[in-house]
Amino acid sequence: MKTDQVKDVIEMLAGNKEPDLAQAVACSLVDSHLRSEILKGMLAKNETYRYNCYKVLFNISSETPQVLYPEWDYFVELLSSPNSYHRMAAANIIANLVKADSEDRFEGIFDRYFGLLDDKSLVVAIYTAQNAGKIAAAKTGLRDKITARLLAIDSTHHAQDRKDLIKAGAIESFGEFFNASPDKERILAFVREQLACKSPKTRKLAKGFLSKHA
């Protein structure tokens, strides 16, 4: 792409709350310089630009994860950012990149990643729980460990009402690999317990899960 075309895409992402994401993604796929700028943009102070850059990168990681896989270490570093938005963004993108993890890098950050279930930010913890199913689908050898982490949400520091919200994400994830899990009874017991929790969303998800799997 020409320099002015790259500039046009960046200006669109920085100044438009509803940019043409399809165009930005398509341009990013063919221009490594633009991708580099968008990677940096995910840390920008301009909230509109930062969020739009995240959406572009998330879409790329979801559809063509092999394109962003070389940037693995960049996203892993953000898992330790003091900024909860950066941690959330990295957690979501890494969960997509696992599909392209031909070097088994995720195994090396397993504890670091799932430690986010105990993150001080509730949002980060919820997204981590929701991403677990996606990771388990790509990393079948880690399903038992992932199941154990989700079943242990009560051991996190969060207040009980917040744990109930995180468990909603866990139930969603269990639904993605329940049929292939050897821990069906433990998962069902966990889900049944949520029928009495304080979160309406979690109770609804638990009922739906049990009607399908129990």
pLDDT (tens, 9 = 90+) of the chain, 214 residues, equals 667 788 999 999 999 899 999 999 999 999 999 999 999 999 999 999 999 999 999 999 999 999 999 999 999 999 999 999 999 999 999 999 999 999 999 999 999 999 999 999 999 999 999 999 999 999 999 999 999 999 999 999 999 999 999 999 999 999 999 999 999 999 999 999 999 999 999 999 999 999 999 8
Please tell me the predicted confidence (pLDDT) of residue 2: 67
**Which residue is associated with the tokens 């509803």?**
18
Distance CA 109, CA 131 (A): 15
Distance CA 59, CA 101 (A): 17
Say if CB 167 and CB 153 are below 8 A apart.
yes
pLDDT, tens digit (0-9, with 9 covering 90-100), for 181-213: 999 999 999 999 999 999 999 999 999 999 999
The DSSP string of the chain is --HHHHHHHHHHHHH-SS--HHHHHHHHHH-HHHHHHHHHHTT-S-HHHHHHHHHHHHHHHHH-HHHHGGGHHHHHHHTT-SSHHHHHHHHHHHHHHGGG-TT-HHHHHHHHHHGGGG-SSHHHHHHHHHHHHHHHHH-GGGHHHHHHHHHTGGGSSS-HHHHHHHHHHHHHHHHHHGGG-S-HHHHHHHHHHGGGSS-HHHHHHHHHHHHHH-
Domain boundaries, the chain: 1-63, 64-213
Distance CA 22, CA 79 (A): 27
CATH topology for the 64-213 domain: Leucine-rich Repeat Variant (1.25.10)
